Structure 1
Amino acid sequence: MRILHVFPDEKFFDYVSDFFDELNNVENLYIYYNREQNYTFKYIKNTSKIKIESSYKEYVKLFSSSNIDIIYFHSLPLNVWKFFRYIDKNKKIIWWCWGFEIYQKCRLMKPLVQVDLYKPLTLEYVRQNEIKSIGLLRFLYWLLMYPYDYIIRKKIISRIDYFTPVLPIEYQLMKKISYFRAKPFMLNSGPGLASKVDFKFHLIPQNILIGNSLSYTNNHLDVFSKIHSYRLCNQKYVVPVNYGTDFNGNKMFLKDIANLHTDVVWLTDFMPFEQYFQLFETITHAIFGHIRQQAMGNIFACLEKGIKIYLYKDSVIYRQLVELGFIVFSIDNDLSEISLQKVLSKEDAYTNLTCCRKIGIHKIENANQELNTMFKQ
């Protein structure tokens, strides 16, 4: 079976494409549309497997080609909506949902899955910032240029045949939408080869990771407010602000307002995948203020490496991880100056690694079986 992959220039492509290349009886077509034939990828490293198509006419022909069986969307941003009009009705469509497509507002549309993304301080800042950034003229522009967004989105979502979430709970959340008819595909694992990690636990507290990007959904302002008075010895906060465009893209904004009494390492430059995760060797605690599913690569890396994790109790991530048997802690009740000086126990670290291994086991075999079942239906 031939799969056409529709993907952005993002850091997830490399490990996801490696996974699909391991599947049986599958030919993957990694064709990237860009008007520049000599486009240089910013995040993707394994470019040898990618063909760049600079002709829009030739690119959209692929969606009705008899040589293609499956269209696989790596996320579903607005700029790929236009391709759905060219998709043959006999094609299977799989949507691997990254999260932003279902939790975030989009132009004048409400989120598909509505959760309270922001804690009080961040919410206040976002409201003020949205009023300034959107403005009346942009509102009117959206109203005039995209009056049928809701109708188009409904048609697109109802056309999806199979849905892969990052967390299984997201499939249940999407099923509450009346026009969502997609069946689950790789519901319990998602694409990506399972990592082989040795058991690790920590004896002494080291650095503390806060969030994963320069995004409002990290709720940095509220997290900083919680920890600003903590005075820690021989520990530093590590705050990635090298990815994301919120706070007007000002990477130093958070530094100027953080008001923390413990030393902070601000990650401002983009780091290759391997180099970034080398930092985790010095991390023993991590605080993720996300309410929606986000930063799961970081979170699972922490769970595998015996790092103590704090999340808000009303977070989709917290709910899912607890349901799966992971040992995680709440920002609301457990986070304190004392708790940041106590590492995750050896027993709890082993529990978390075991849960990670259960999720990753038999990923290739399960995907092969599901694809075969898909074509028997």
Structure 2
Amino acid sequence: MQTHIFTSESIYSKAFLQRLGDNLDLSDQIIVFRKQNVQFQFLPKRDSPKIIYATTFISFIFKVLPNLLQSKWIYIHYLPYGPSLLFWFLFRRLLKKTSWIVWGGDVFVYKEADKSLKNRFLEYLRKKIIPSFPEICSFIKDDALEAMKIYGSQAVYTPILYPIPLNITDLKTTQQVDEFPNHIKILVGNSADPSNFHLDTLEMISKFKHQPIKIYCPLSYYYDKVYIKTVIENGHLHFGENFIPILNMMSSQEYISLLKCVDVGIMNHNRQQALGNILPLLYLGKKVYLRKDVSTFNFLTSLGCIVYDISEIFPSKFEEFIEIKSEFQQSNFEKIKALTSDEYFINLWSNLIFSHKDDKCN
């Protein structure tokens, strides 16, 4: 028996369970969600894992702890920056049979440690917990290495991959609905998280405001209403009606149609984020700008993908800003197709899960 712990049901957890369940027998796997979200609920099938919802600390103790004690191995899918750290601190002996599967934000949150007394306490717990993990898994190796360096971890690194929540084959087959065929479409960020640095990005590209452009800005994830209002006001100030904020969740088909219409994607995050947008954009042959000092940039270029340093926007003319060579588009398509294939995904996860099948319970 093995146990997987997620903070919440999400579009990523649903895609993960569906894809894994289509290829592996998960009947000996237990999936724990700390928060329920019916919209992204996984529908069990034959050989499906057992699903447990533990939305309070007390329910986690009574419903989940017995399974953790009996499990041969535990997987923490994202390490929250909150009260659950106290649980892992108190039950540190469980960590010697636990893999931390890094999502990105759960590594770089250490940069918030000095912002409050609460954060300092949580960071103290992390410094006790993280060195106890024998294995740290991540899609981007640099994220795992950063965690090991900051927390003095001697863990083994294992590459792992979450599926993008969009069906990769749908990216080519879904009909493209382009409301503005005579405009260049620019996608700014992937959510309303301030780590997108929307205001900086909008200021950076404001020099192109007299060009035939439309700015799409997804603001449906993350719920800081004041920040969202500020981004919208700033977008309209620079671009008027050519700035289009996306405030509601879109269906997969609607979002794919949007991505197919986009010409340029700008992901100005200061940490690894938005791969669920970046990979489809590269697959579709779009031009993507990232910060060069973020692990995502190094990861993609190491694969042979062509992505662009966001600092190149400053001196660029509009034609240079939007141009991407057809051979680069084809190369990116082939690299992302291989990276997101079922074969690669299942190979990584089956290797990880089966490597711990024979581990003894502690």
Contact 1:286/1:310, CA 8 A, preserved across alignment: yes
**In the alignment, what sits opposite 1:31?**
32
Q: Distance in 2 between matches of 1:341 and 1:295?
A: 21
RMSD: 3.3
Q: Could you say what secondary structure the match of 1:252 adopts?
A: helix
Q: How far apart are residue 244 of structure 1 and its match?
A: 1.5
**In the alignment, what sits opposite 1:131?**
none
**In the alignment, what sits opposite 1:46?**
42
Q: Equivalent of 2:335, from 355, 363, 367?
A: 355
Contact 2:215/2:243, CA 8 A, preserved across alignment: yes
The residue identity in structure 2 corresponding to 1:6 is F
Matched, 1:72 2:75: yes
The TM-score, its normalising length taken from structure 2, stands at 0.79
**In the alignment, what sits opposite 2:223?**
245
Q: Taking structure 1 as reference, are residues 219 and 297 closer, same or farther at Cα in structure 2, changes over 3 Å only?
A: same
Give the unaligned 5+ runs of structure 2.
Answer: 45-49, 175-180
Matched, 1:216 2:219: no
Q: Distance in 2 between matches of 1:334 and 1:253?
A: 23
Q: Distance in 1 between matches of 2:192 and 2:295?
A: 20
Matched, 1:345 2:341: no
Q: Could you say what secondary structure the match of 1:245 adopts?
A: coil
CA deviations over 1:212-245 (Å, ceiling 9, x no partner): 1112211112111111131355431001111123
Give the unaligned 5+ runs of structure 1.
Answer: 35-39, 111-133
Q: Taking structure 1 as reference, are residues 343 and 186 closer, same or farther at Cα in structure 2, changes over 3 Å only?
A: same
Matched, 1:162 2:135: yes
Q: Distance in 2 between matches of 1:14 and 1:373?
A: 23
- How many residue pairs end up in the alignment? 337
Contact 1:304/1:353, CA 8 A, preserved across alignment: yes
CA deviations over 1:143-164 (Å, ceiling 9, x no partner): xx67643442122102223222
Q: Which moved more, 1:209-218 or 1:330-339?
A: 330-339
CA deviations over 1:50-82 (Å, ceiling 9, x no partner): 44346344224335432x222222211123323
**In the alignment, what sits opposite 1:229?**
207
Contact 1:227/1:260, CA 8 A, preserved across alignment: no
Contact 1:163/1:184, CA 8 A, preserved across alignment: yes
**In the alignment, what sits opposite 1:113?**
none
Q: Which moved more, 1:189-198 or 1:88-97?
A: 189-198
**In the alignment, what sits opposite 2:108?**
103
Q: Could you say what secondary structure the match of 2:150 adopts?
A: coil
Q: Could you say what secondary structure the match of 2:312 adopts?
A: coil
Q: Taking structure 1 as reference, are residues 52 and 13 closer, same or farther at Cα in structure 2, changes over 3 Å only?
A: same
Q: How far apart are residue 91 of structure 1 and its match?
A: 6.2
Q: How far apart are residue 349 of structure 1 and its match?
A: 0.9
Q: Distance in 2 between matches of 1:146 and 1:299?
A: 31
Q: Distance in 2 between matches of 1:360 and 1:347?
A: 20
Q: Equivalent of 2:98, from 73, 76, 93?
A: 93
The TM-score, its normalising length taken from structure 1, stands at 0.77
Q: Equivalent of 1:320, from 299, 302, 318?
A: 299
Percent same amino acid at aligned positions?
Answer: 20
Q: How far apart are residue 211 of structure 1 and its match?
A: 0.7
Q: Which moved more, 1:328-337 or 1:259-268?
A: 328-337
CA deviations over 1:104-158 (Å, ceiling 9, x no partner): 3576x26xxxxxxxxxxxxxxxxxxxxxxx7xxxx4xx3xx67643442122102
Q: Taking structure 1 as reference, are residues 255 and 191 closer, same or farther at Cα in structure 2, changes over 3 Å only?
A: closer
Q: Equivalent of 2:276, from 297, 303, 320?
A: 297
